[in-house]
Amino acid sequence: MLFFIRNITIGVFLLFNYCLRAQTPISSLGMMPLGAASQAKGNQFLFSNDVWGSANDLSSIMTRSPQIGMTHRSIFQEVAFSAVGAIYPINQKWSTSATISSVGNTYLSEQSIELGTAHKIGIIQIGGGLGYHQLRAETLNTLQTITLNMAVQAALSSRFSLGLIMHNFTQNVYQEGVFGADKSSLIALGVKYSVQPFFTVISSIEKQKHQQIQYKAGFEYQWKSFLYLRGGMQLFPLDISLGTGVYKNKWGVDYAFLTDDVFGWSHQFSLSYQLTSKER
């Protein structure tokens, strides 16, 4: 069984690599999950389980040790997506997180500060938080808005979990006088299934404001004790992602290579550090 899963995973990894080289991207806009690990697993917000939980899936920030991280994605020419984040577990049932991010260029950019907390009650993990966002442009005054976010995750068994997230569920928008600018919102429902302790599959249905429903799927395979292979795809429009992660001692380095429907190919790098020792 181990031999079969190992070879199937490597085959899928190589297939994604071939598709990445052969694909012509199609356009889309909207929110993007933070962190190369989430990007590599099909560009999914759910079950991020890392330092980027306050921006991705608040219910997944129940880590056992404090963590800090930084990530960068070069999207197109001068357009870039950068962020720093931190998670601090108060105890085994409470955790807090924070993320500061910026996307855009010198002509148009958006900066965000997102704070969150999560609580574990039996098999349920509930997360909630708020975000402060400002939109800057050369010919406009800075616009600001506050968003509310929530997430729920239920571990139905040791292998199977359900998740739900809602970003900006109050539908807040940027506005100044008679001028208004839209702020996207997101709802996603998904499942995580651990085929084996070293092989996990995630699938989700996602709807962003003013966009059609997207279907996403991805996997994470632990090839060595410190090395992870990841791949994923989304439909409507079609995008494919591929990545890897290396975790040694307190350090973690993640990389994702993915298609973007507006800007073509892009690369995402993430670096994380655990403030206390912990096995991944």
Q: If pLDDT is split at 50, 70 and 90, which confidence band does 263 have?
A: low
Q: If pLDDT is split at 50, 70 and 90, which confidence band does 14 have?
A: very low
Which residue's entry shows tokens 């966009």? 211
Q: How far is the C-alpha of 66 from the C-alpha of 108, rounded, in Å? A: 34
Residue 21 is predicted with a pLDDT of: 40
Residue 64 tokens read as: 């056992």
Asked if residues 232 and 42 have their Cβ atoms less than 8 Å apart, the reply is: yes
- 208-260: per-residue pLDDT in tens? 988 889 999 999 999 988 999 999 999 888 889 999 999 998 999 999 998 87
Q: How would DSSP label each residue in 62-77?
A: --SS-EEEEEEEEEET
Residue 19 is predicted with a pLDDT of: 41
Residue 121 has pLDDT above 60, yes or no: yes
Beta-ladder partners of 149: 129, 167
Nearest Cα neighbor of 199 from 61, 6, 14 is 6
Q: How would DSSP label each residue in 125-140?
A: EEEEEEEEEEEEETTE
Q: If pLDDT is split at 50, 70 and 90, which confidence band does 119 have?
A: very high
Residue 65 has pLDDT above 80, yes or no: yes
Q: Residue 81: how many CA atoms within 13 Å on its side-chain side?
A: 18
Asked if residues 38 and 272 have their Cβ atoms less than 8 Å apart, the reply is: no
- 196-217: per-residue pLDDT in tens? 989 999 999 999 988 889 999 9
> What's the distance, Cα to Cα, between the start and end of the chain in Å?
24
**DSSP-based three-state secondary structure for 265:** strand
Q: If pLDDT is split at 50, 70 and 90, which confidence band does 10 have?
A: very low
Mean of all residue pLDDT scores within the chain: 84
Residue 173 is predicted with a pLDDT of: 87
- 25-60: per-residue pLDDT in tens? 322 335 889 999 999 999 999 999 999 999 999 999
Please state whether the peptide bond connecting residue 197 to the residue before it is cis, i.e. omega within 30 degrees of 0: no
Residue 246 is predicted with a pLDDT of: 96
Q: If pLDDT is split at 50, 70 and 90, which confidence band does 262 have?
A: low
List, in sequence order, the alpha helices (H) in the chain: 2-22, 36-40
Looking at the chain, the whole-number percentage of residues with pLDDT higher than 70 is 83
Residue 4 is predicted with a pLDDT of: 42
- 173-201: per-residue pLDDT in tens? 887 555 567 888 999 999 999 999 899 99
Residue 213 tokens read as: 């429903």
Residue 176 is predicted with a pLDDT of: 58
Looking at the chain, the whole-number percentage of residues with pLDDT higher than 90 is 59
90: left (phi over 0), alpha (psi -120 to 50) or beta: alpha
pTM over 0.85: no
**DSSP-based three-state secondary structure for 37:** helix
Q: If pLDDT is split at 50, 70 and 90, which confidence band does 61 have?
A: very high
